[in-house]
Structure 1
Amino acid sequence: MMRIDVGADGWLSWNGRRIACRLGRSGIIVDKREGDGATPVGAWPLRRALYRPDRLARPVTGLEVAEIGPADGWCDDSAHPDYNRSVELPHPARCEKMWRDDHLYDVVVVLGHNDDPPVAGRGSAIFLHVADPEGKPTEGCVAIDLADLLDLLADCRPGDLLVVSAL
């Protein structure tokens, strides 16, 4: 099992490598709540990788990989039974579009935060994804440059953990 460490200081490290990362606009938090803009502290399993096939080739990784399509969304409506689940758009509840105009979701690693089972209001759509080129923070995810994300994915296997620490 590989451990990917993320610190409150904005650095991510794995296998002796250390790179800058972006965290939530509200920093990191132990008690995650929907919409707080914070990255949750904890050890989050890497569930699967998603990618935009119109923008890049299938990432090389030991994780399960799936394509993102124009109808893909992620439910962030804590009052809906599909909360914190992948959904097809259009959807009756509030959802995030996975097929974005920007490049932030060209590659996404779905993290096992609040998903087994999802608890309403405890946070949804917590991913490891591509960092904003202007250096903007995330809405609660962890983000790194595309080249670094592809390098990291090449080392990933089922059972690996992304560990967000307050230190």
Structure 2
Amino acid sequence: MVDRLIVETGTGILKWGSQSTPCAIGKGGAKPDTDKREGDGATPLGTYPLRWVYYRPDRVAPPQTTLPMRGISRQDGWCDDADHPAYNSAVRLPFDASAETLWREDGLYDFIVVLGHNDAPARAGLGSAIFLHCCKYDDTGAMKPTLGCVAVPRETLVTILRGCTPQTVIEIRE
């Protein structure tokens, strides 16, 4: 079992147990949780629970994990409007405020692990949609930065999820 995932933002490495993998973080670098702001592109430093897993059922099989999970549909979104009562939570599309679409064609969200950042309760403007998800590569084969999430290769994420439980946390540190 995996008790803790450790993201070392300075080296771009995610560790679990005796294993590790390169990872991508936000294009805005990493910031203390208290300094995180909506739209800054930064990955928040801190320790967060893994809330649940989404997967795209038309592309991938459900991952083997004891985390709560469900398949997404074209109507799944995530509210990123800091002025809306549903800020930083799952919503159904179409939605009456700004919301990110979870059903993506680029494969980034084939698997999404929702991290417990700014959600108990959500505070307006302090960051939304902080996930652990599949990475994307640039033309040189390097991982592209995210908008504040942590991203790893899809196959590696499936491997990591096998050991995760509802007690697993992710520690994002410098």
- Identify which of 64, 75, 84 aligns with 1:71: 75
- 1:137 alignment counterpart: 145
In 1, Cα distance between the equivalents of 2:77 and 2:105? 14
Q: Which amino acid aligns with 1:140?
A: G
Q: For 1:84-133, what per-residue CA distance to the aligned partner results, in whole angstroms no more than 9, with x for missing partners?
A: 00000000010000001110000000000000000000000000000003
Q: Which amino acid aligns with 1:51?
A: Y
By how many angstroms is 1:44 displaced?
A: 0.8
What is the RMSD of the two structures over their aligned residues, measured on CA atoms?
0.7
Q: Which amino acid aligns with 1:11?
A: I
Q: How does 1:1-167 map to 2 (within 5 A)?
A: 2-8=3-9, 9-30=11-32, 31-134=35-138, 135-166=143-174
Q: For 1:127-154, what per-residue CA distance to the aligned partner results, in whole angstroms no more than 9, with x for missing partners?
A: 0000003221000000000010000000
Aligned residues: 166
Structure 2, unmatched stretches of 5+, are: none
Task: Give the TM-score taking structure 1 as reference length.
Answer: 0.98
Q: Which amino acid aligns with 1:149?
A: L
In 2, Cα distance between the equivalents of 1:127 and 1:148? 15
In 2, Cα distance between the equivalents of 1:4 and 1:65? 18
Q: Secondary structure at the match of 1:104?
A: coil
